[in-house]
Each structure stands twice: as C-alpha cells, then as structure tokens.
Chains A and B, each alone.
Chain A
Amino acid sequence: MIGAIYKRLEKDRRNQMTIKGPNLQRSDPKLSDRIIHPLFVRITHWINALAVFIMIMSGLKIYNASPIYPLQFPPDITLGGWLAGALAWHFAGMWLLAINGIAYLVYGVLSGHFWRSLIRFQPMAAYRNIRLELKRLILHGTGEYNPVQRVLYTAVIWIVILLVFSGLTMWKPVQFQSLAHFFGGYDQARKIHFFAMLGLALFTLIHVSIAMAVKGTIESMFTGRLAQKPPKKTGAPK
C-alpha cells in the first residue's frame, strides 16, 4: 500500500514538476557516471540487509519459545526450525550485524558520509518555492537523501544501536550488569529489544516498499550510479 501511494506521488512528480536543480538532469553523461552510493555504503548495506533478516527471523523464533505478549509469530517467517537452531542463528548473525555495523559507523564518521548525507541540510535551502520544497521532502532518486530519508535513516541507525545494547544486556545480564542496570534489568531489556525490533521491521517494510516502487533505486544500490532514465518530454528541463 505504501508502495502504491509512493508510485502515485512519483508519477505526479514526473508529470508536473520541473525542478531546475543540479541533480535532476539524469541524461547528463557526467552525472550518469557520478557515484551516488559509495562502494563502502553499498557493501555494508547488503551485508546489513542479510544480517537484519537473519536477526529478525531467528529472533521471532526465540520470542515464540516464551512470548511476552499474547502474540505468536507464524513459523513460516522464522529461522532456525527450533529454539536451539534459532539461538545459533541469532548468536552467529550478531557478529555479522555488529562487525558490519561498526565498519559502517566508522566509515560514516571518518569519510564524512554521515555529515554530507544525513546531517547537512544546506542543499535544501536552495529551493525557494515552498511547494517544491514539500515535494522534495519525499523526492527519490536524485542521488541525495531527502529529508524524510535523512530522518528515517538516522532513526534506524539508533534503533539498531538500541537493539545491540539491549541484546547484549539479555545475553550477559551478569557480566554487563551496568548495562542491565541502565535498561532496568533483564526482563525490561527484553521488552525494549522486542519493541526496537518492531521499529526495525516497520522501517524495513517502508524502506523496501519504496525501493521497489521507485524505479532504479535498487539498481543504483548495486551499481552506485543513478539509474539511467530517458529524458521525459513533459518534465525535462530545456
């Protein structure tokens, strides 16, 4: 459903909007060579995608062993077959998630990727028209994260950090007892871990829906370059 709404918005944009922005002239050969997703971000993104699927699917199986709420997850969306298998997946997947995540965070800080893509907002100010600004709020495929993307991507980074630390608390409530104290004990950490997982699952749902609805976004997450589009007669700048 999110995908359908998004498709309409994108169609609307293509048909009606003419933005004189530097990033929208997709047929410009120089721009088509430009790397919009750095290789490091692409690699860590897909490793992270795999790790998140392993962690969520095995986590749901672990949850089912002793549900906190009157709610069980269907076995078809779980990983590991039984509790020991799910735990083995979860405690193997955690290394993939953590090492890849730390690499991404270090890269993000040192390369300036976080500053450029998530924090700095100046390019936005270039647009005078408030209507365009609003449209731009959800504009995809320009090689720049739009404001909603910035907020969501920043939020999901913090959600994963919360998942890692609440998870460490559940894994070692005695050895990491200052962490356990911070989260209010083992049982509390378990609830926080659960709700953070729901947040991550919701993000993934929105993220994947939009990526599938907006043509070329998945492709450019592999190639790193803007997906090539023929210039539209209705919308292309002259």
Chain B
Amino acid sequence: MSAGNPKNPKISLRDFRPQISRIERRLFLKQGLSLGALTMLSGCTLKDDDAVDKLLWAMSRWNDRVQAAIFDPAKLARTYSEGDITEPFPFNAYYEQPMAPVIYGPDYQLELGGLISDKRPWRIERLRELPQTSQITQHICVEGWSAIGKWGGVAFKTFLERIGADTTAKYVGFKCADRYSTSIDMPSALHPQTLLTLDFPGQPGETKYGFPVKVRVPTKLGFKNPKYVTEIFVTNDNPGGYWENMGYNWFSGS
C-alpha cells in the first residue's frame, strides 16, 4: 500500500501529499499575488498614460454613450416645495468661496459663438425680457451630497431658439468668468427643465451662486451646471470641460 513497498507499486495519494501541499501553497501565494496586483492598480488614477488608465478612459466614453441612450428628453426631474429648500445652499467650486468672481451687472455681456445665427451679445435686461420661469429641484454633486434649491430664469430651449442656434448640432459649450468651462449634449440642453438662470438660491444680491448667469441642468450632476457664464457656443466637436478633461465622466447625467 505504501510507497516504500517496491513490490506493490500501487499509487496512493498519500505519496504525493508533499507535492500537493506545495501546490496548495502555490495557489495560496498566487491569490496573495492577485490581491497585491489589485493594490498596485490603485496607482491607476486617470492621470497617467498606462494601459489600465486607457481602459478606464475608454469605459468612461462608453458610459457617455450608454447615458445618452438612457436619457429620456421627456422625463422631468422631481420638483419640490418651498419648504424643502436647503438653507443656506452650499457653495461649491474648484476654489474657495472668497475667490468667487464678482461681476458688475450693468457691464455684463453674454457672448455667443459657434453654430448660432444671431451672435449679438446679450445684456441682463434683455434676458429679463424673455419669458421667465422657475423651478425647485435637487442639485446632486458628484461628491455625493445633495441640496434643494430654487432657480429662476429663461428656459434654455427658448433662448437657443431665440438666438437661432443650430439645435441639430451635438454640443453646447460654456465659458465662465472664473475660468471654469463645461459642455453638455444638445438633447440635455433642450430638456424642458434646463434653465438659463438669472435668479439664484439664497439671499438676493449674493454673487457666489453664479451671478449674473448660471445654466441649471437638473438632469445632470452639479459640475455640469456652470456659473458666471460669459460665453455660450454651439459645436459638433466635444469641447470637454475643466473637470471632464481631468477624468470626471463627461455626460454625468442624473
């Protein structure tokens, strides 16, 4: 029965016990290695050019397409009552609050560019002459927090039609007084709740929420809602944006 008996060469598993336990150990090590490999991956942060980062970028572009397909232009974001409004509404930007730009209203001009037939700049008084509407919706930040606020102004679709924007184009881009920039897809720009905002949450006269012009897009994450907008342009080349170019998902729909 045992391996020590040469006259009975019957193979028993017992004879291979040392080898088997070596294999077991190796498998165990292999697992340890794959866990180690996983922690090595934590170096992949979208900031380098290695293969994993390329894969993550490619997946993010794939997710843009999936989100565009999921987006239903008729689906409205939930609206809330005045009592639900978060006070004070949180300030958020890529800089601290004292760095927020203060714009003198009477000097302000909204510039237009790209695939727009009437590119004459707009002053606040003229924007006020367009039909005004307001909404109370939930602002969701990419960081995870949320706040409910009230925004008032001109339906963005109305504005785009008024300036003769090519609404068959793919993208609307925004440039801001704080050197921030972002861009959205045309279907989201034409969504009935997308708003060229002139009235902000909080106290009247506070500039930190984007005075004089913010674009409120309740179907997108907070960072896709530019403040202190100084230029709007329509294009077929994705303009990207401040955070998007660093690795945040471009579509970032809600």
Contact = CB atoms under 8 A, between A and B. Distances in A.
Interface of A: 27, 32, 50, 53-54, 57, 62-63, 65-66, 68, 78-85, 87-89, 91-92, 95, 172-175, 177, 180, 186-187, 190, 212, 215-216, 218-219, 222, 227-228, 230
Contacts of A180: 78
Q: Which of A57, A65, A84 has the most CB of B within 10 A?
A: A84
10 contacts: A50-B38, A84-B243, A84-B248, A85-B47, A87-B248, A88-B60, A89-B44, A92-B55, A186-B140, A219-B24
A65 B71 CA distance: 26
B144 A177 contact: no
B72 A63 contact: no
B27 A81 contact: no
Nearest to A194: B144
Interface of B: 13-14, 16-17, 20, 23-24, 27-28, 31, 34-35, 38, 41-47, 55-57, 59-60, 63, 67, 70-72, 75-78, 138, 140-146, 218-219, 243, 246-249, 253-254
Given A84-B247, A91-B249, A174 B254 contact: yes
Nearest to A221: B27
Given A27-B13, A53-B38, A85-B247, A173 B45 contact: no
Given A172-B253, A175-B254, A215-B24, A88 B247 contact: yes
Contact of A219 (B17, B23, B41, B67): B23
Contact of B218 (A78, A84, A174, A215): A174
B24 A216 contact: yes
Contacts of A83: 142-143, 248
Contacts of B20: 228
- CB-based closest 8 A-B pairs: A81-B45, A85-B45, A92-B59, A84-B247, A66-B144, A66-B143, A65-B143, A88-B56
